[in-house]
Chains A and B, each alone.
Chain A
């Protein structure tokens, strides 16, 4: 137990060598907290769903409504808070679906580099990578009924190859390291070699990529909602909010700008953590 605590403290020391990453971590923690406790921290939680109050419509930012209200009279700040939920959910769901299969395929293809297994896996990966990502997502979404769920499926389908490619490179070079060969000589099973010897050495790159991807996935999800293929009204999705508010620029600027800033803070937070992760996983050797 004491060892774990010591390890935690040491990890924090390594991570916090990058002040920028600490800022990113603060952003991410703030956004996550707000997303989880949205009903309790929003000033007007009911505004997040079906709600109309034309008396207060299109109010500029004031003490009563810190980010103003939209054309339906809904408090924008509260909608942003609930909007964080959809953004984070998008990121978490997509990465959960994508990381495991992508990494496994990459490990296997890299280990069997030069054989038919490698060829099959990597050529399929190439096919998916050849299609421009947003186009693929748009195509899938327009075929299926637009919804948050389908947007997530579409993004997942085009995201997994990146992990395969990343891990393929790592796996195929690690495969020739002495410690892998030592395990082979001892007689370890292939699954042990893949998951217990090679994978731990890829974790650093995978986590760094995941943190950067959170930002990207959220952005793409917002883009899909912006064009109407993701969340549907009245869901308080940040991208939809920007789309709806864009019509009212520049007069009622707050309707579009605040949700956009919210997206920016979320994405930026995850990006900045990436550097910290890289240092966190580095092995120190003097």
Chain B
């Protein structure tokens, strides 16, 4: 039985803006097991990126706890012990700006080594060469600057940077969204290979559900700062329970008839996604939900385990839970 490497408990992150309080992450709880990939899906305003940034320490939580390997890291990265900074790394979404164009690849890859004092100057150069080997890039890329590399290559450098300190958990925020299909394939396969070799855990964020299907062990879907549903991957795709999950799955453009058959019945999405400044009362999704009940606009549903490992936050299922309890 795998142990939990990361536990997030009732995490909240609010931002005060001139237009009101943005409830970016609102009472989110989940855990990541060692060696698994937890997928986090959501659209704009869902809070998935904020969750990622809070876990990695770029934001300090407003409230709630983040526990990594038994250590409480519920603070900004500047207040965390150095050893833990080695163990958690992040790969950002935009390869164009996640590498400093004014520095060389060598300088970029040496930074984590320097900060954590992993070897002297000579060792570091060797380790940089090793990292480039692992991501299948030629050694002389060391002397180049990011702007002379293509998007896929930049992202491979970003992954090499994340691997430099031999971390345990890597947060991948839409790592291939800006890339083409064939480069995406290469990078994903590389990531899966590293995961097996180094027993890495991944928190994988993407809006591409077809990609998620092939990468994640378990999938969690977020809407307006809350998790709506969590399930093992195959369950998630074959038996989605939450109306938002069904809407999202039915909107994916696919190529083959087999995939089309797998999608739930078409649910037309109407209306805009509400802004996280003005979260609708009750269940945040009720303004766009087709299976709406009376209580949906007043009470926030609880997260319930409807089947082993399959959690949903929806009034449709809280009724059945109650009924089961009563019987």
Direct A–B touching, Cβ under 8 Å:
yes
Interface residues of A (CB under 8 A from B): 3, 177-179, 181-189, 192, 196-197, 200-201, 203, 283-285
Residues of B within 8 A of A3 (CB): 143
- A179 CB to closest chain B CB, in angstroms? 4
Interface residues of B (CB under 8 A from A): 53, 56-58, 77-78, 82, 85-86, 88-90, 92-94, 97-103, 107, 111-112, 115-116, 143, 145, 147, 158, 161, 165
Q: A186-B85, A283-B101 are in contact. Are A181 and B143 (CB under 8 A)?
A: no
Residue among B57, B97, B158 having the largest count of chain A Cβ atoms under 10 Å: B97
- Do B82 and A187 have beta carbons less than 8 Å apart? yes
- Do A184 and B161 have beta carbons less than 8 Å apart? no
- Do A200 and B102 have beta carbons less than 8 Å apart? yes
Of all chain B residues, the one with the shortest Cβ separation from A284 is B147
- Do A183 and B77 have beta carbons less than 8 Å apart? no
Chain B interface, DSSP helix/strand/loop, else mixed: mixed
Q: In the complex, A185→B112 CA distance in Å? A: 10
Q: In the complex, A200→B58 CA distance in Å? A: 22
Q: A177-B97, A181-B92 are in contact. Are A187 and B58 (CB under 8 A)?
A: no
- B254 CB to closest chain A CB, in angstroms? 31
Of all chain A residues, the one with the shortest Cβ separation from B80 is A187
Q: In the complex, A130→B88 CA distance in Å? A: 47
Residues of A within 8 A of B82 (CB): 187
- Do A201 and B100 have beta carbons less than 8 Å apart? yes
- B141 CB to closest chain A CB, in angstroms? 14
List 7 interface pairs A-B (beta carbons < 8 Å), by A numbering.
A178-B93, A179-B99, A185-B57, A187-B77, A197-B103, A201-B100, A203-B102
Residues of B within 8 A of A185 (CB): 56-58, 77, 85, 88-90
- Do B115 and A200 have beta carbons less than 8 Å apart? no
Contact of B103 among A181, A184, A200 (CB under 8 A): A200
- Do B97 and A178 have beta carbons less than 8 Å apart? yes
Of all chain A residues, the one with the shortest Cβ separation from B58 is A181
Residues of B within 8 A of A283 (CB): 101, 145, 147
Residues of B within 8 A of A192 (CB): 111
Q: In the complex, A251→B10 CA distance in Å? A: 88
Q: Beyond the given A179-B98, A184-B57, could you list 20 further A-B residue pairs with CB under 8 A, ordered by the A residue number?
A: A178-B92, A178-B94, A178-B97, A178-B98, A179-B100, A181-B53, A181-B58, A183-B111, A184-B58, A185-B56, A185-B77, A186-B85, A186-B89, A186-B111, A187-B116, A189-B115, A196-B103, A197-B103, A201-B100, A203-B102
Q: In the complex, A283→B102 CA distance in Å? A: 9
- Do B98 and A182 have beta carbons less than 8 Å apart? yes
Residues of B within 8 A of A178 (CB): 92-94, 97-98
